[in-house]
């Protein structure tokens, strides 16, 4: 088992100013050496393999701004349904999922965010995905 940690950095002010997440959210993971690509974009492709444990968490570019992941939708052939948990003693979430099957190709998934004090949920038009690790 290997942990793949994915961070979503959201420019909250830009999302609210432009009313869109595209171009204002940056995804990074810790698996570039295993083949992850498109680091620093909103359509990160994370290289994973069977039994990897995936973690997602988010924060705003300016720490006083509010952003929260409210749902992650995945293809459950490849990933278990992501579950929200809390860092101990806080109300800040992280989401976890286990890779059930190594993807043969690029498999997209979607992250939905609550941003600022709006009731709108934000997601990117072309979301991130998982892909097989380098052989």
Give dist(CA 111, CA 35) in Å, integer: 21
Neighbour tally for 123: CB within 10 Å: 17
Q: Contact between 59 and other proteins (CB under 8 A)?
A: yes
Q: Which stretch binds other proteins (CB under 8 A): 50-58, 72-80, 106-114, 127-135?
A: 50-58
x/- binding map, residues 26-45, to other proteins, per CB under 8 A? Answer: x-xxx-xx-----xxx----
- Decide if 97 contacts 73 (C-beta within 8 A): no
- Please state whether beta strands 25-29 and 67-73 pair in parallel, antiparallel, or not at all (unpaired): unpaired
The encoded tokens of residue 35 equal: 């083949």
- Please state whether beta strands 3-10 and 25-29 pair in parallel, antiparallel, or not at all (unpaired): antiparallel
Among 58, 97, 124, 129, binds other proteins (CB under 8 A): 58
Rounded to the nearest whole angstrom, what is the least distance from the CB of residue 1 to other proteins in the complex?
A: 6
Q: Would you tell me which residues interact with other proteins (CB under 8 A)?
A: 1-3, 5, 7, 9, 11, 13-14, 17, 24, 26, 28-30, 32-33, 39-41, 55, 57-59, 61-63, 85, 87-90, 92, 94
């Amino acid at each position: 088992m290997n942990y793949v940690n994915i961070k979503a950095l959201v420019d909250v002010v830009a999302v609210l100013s432009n009313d869109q997440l595209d171009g204002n959210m940056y995804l990074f993971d810790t698996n570039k050496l295993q083949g992850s690509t498109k680091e620093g974009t909103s359509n990160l492709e994370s290289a994973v393999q069977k039994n990897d444990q995936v973690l997602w968490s988010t924060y705003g570019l300016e720490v006083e701004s509010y952003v929260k992941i409210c749902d992650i939708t995945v293809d459950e052939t490849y990933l278990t349904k992501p579950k929200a948990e809390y860092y101990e003693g806080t109300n800040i979430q992280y989401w976890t999922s286990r890779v059930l099957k190594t993807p043969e190709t690029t498999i997209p998934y979607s992250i939905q965010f609550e941003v600022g004090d709006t009731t709108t949920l934000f997601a990117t038009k072309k979301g991130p995905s998982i892909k097989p690790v380098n052989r």
